[in-house]
Amino acid sequence: MRVFTDFDPSADAKSAGDAAYTTERIRANLSGVATILAIASARGGVGKSIIAVNMAAAFALKGRKVAILDADLNSPSIPFMLGMKAPRHFPMIEGIEPASGPHGLRVISSDIFPGGEPAPITFLGDDGDSVEPVRPPLAEMSYNQALQRILAQSRFGTVDLMIIDLASGLDRLHTIASMVPLDGVLLLSHPSGLDATATRHTLEVAKFKSPVLGIVENMVGFNCDGCRSVRPLFPEGNLSAVARENAVPILARLGFEPRLADSSDRGALFIRDYATTPTGKALSDLAARLETILSARPRAAAPAA
């Protein structure tokens, strides 16, 4: 089990624990990031990380400098989906240097921190003596502190776009919005009634924290070769009603594509390898729509300290 504690053993304990100091460090590290996009979902299993990876690749393939922050600390998946090699063991004293992914992608993930193969993360208490968690793993305060330390010590450099792949849940969106100046949020959802209801609740709260650019409705149906049509996987219309109620556009509707899941399992980029397929074109269109929307928005202000 990897122990998640302060990455900078040489940092002054008082300064490292000071909120104003941490906020200043985060702002400094993000000063070279032109645009920050969070990809979020109310519930898990909707394909959020797959979309995050392919959106990052779409921008990188256009020559943009792109960073990805894998903010799902206990279930990191971004390095695996990008086909990156075994985790690198970084010296933490001078800060965390992003790992280099395909097409120049800069990747920060708990998978690249010391500790060998991916394992559940334990959050230590302030004494740092016991390997037993003082609080349950991923308790809200512990998660917040861990994410703050990552942001405060990661050297993202100069990039055009940083994509943050969040763990599912409204609380994770609320957490990141309080730490970094989000230029936009892209929400992922299934068309099911349960997912639509959860997305409605997320939208009601998220609009007070950060701009929601739109929704991606994933796995809306599958190709039926025998009947030569797309058959729905869920009852239709649930998510459309939620989007209309909140005046948020549905930016893409994606069918179930087995090759998309297979590409992620192989660490390959679907949007590059299957660019001419209907799903490949839909992902490219989504990236183009996001670029248009983001370029038209004023730069987000940093959250208050």
The alpha carbon dihedral of 85, 77, 35, 149 has a sign of negative
For 79-113, how does the pLDDT look when each residue is reduced to its tens digit (9 = 90+)? Answer: 999 999 765 555 454 678 899 999 999 999 988 77
In a domain, 303, yes or no: no
In a domain, 148, yes or no: yes
What is the pTM assigned to this prediction? 0.83
Residue 16 has pLDDT above 60, yes or no: no
**Domain limits for position 55:** 2-295
In a domain, 78, yes or no: yes
58 CB contacts (<8 Å, ≥6 apart)?
A: 271, 283, 284, 286, 287
In a domain, 189, yes or no: yes
Instruction: Starting at the earlier edge strand, list the strands of the sheet with 99-100.
Output: 99-100, 106-108, 66-70, 159-165, 33-41, 184-189, 212-218, 250-254
In a domain, 305, yes or no: no
User: Could you tell me the CATH number of the domain that includes residue 53?
Assistant: 3.40.50.300
In a domain, 304, yes or no: no
Give yes or no for a contact between 21 and 171, defined as CB atoms under 8 angstroms apart: no
In three-state form (DSSP H/G/I as H, E/B as E, the rest C), the secondary structure along 143-186 is HHHHHHHHHHHECCCCEEEEEEECCCCHHHHHHHHCCCCCCEEE
> In which residue are the tokens 């933490």 written?
92
The total number of structural domains in the chain stands at 1
pLDDT for 298: 77
In a domain, 237, yes or no: yes
- Nearest one of 90, 55, 88, 50 to 72, comparing CA atoms: 50
In a domain, 213, yes or no: yes
For 192-231, how does the pLDDT look when each residue is reduced to its tens digit (9 = 90+)? Answer: 888 888 888 888 777 777 889 999 999 887 766 555 566 6
Residue 4 has pLDDT above 60, yes or no: no
5 CB contacts (<8 Å, ≥6 apart)?
A: 123, 124, 128
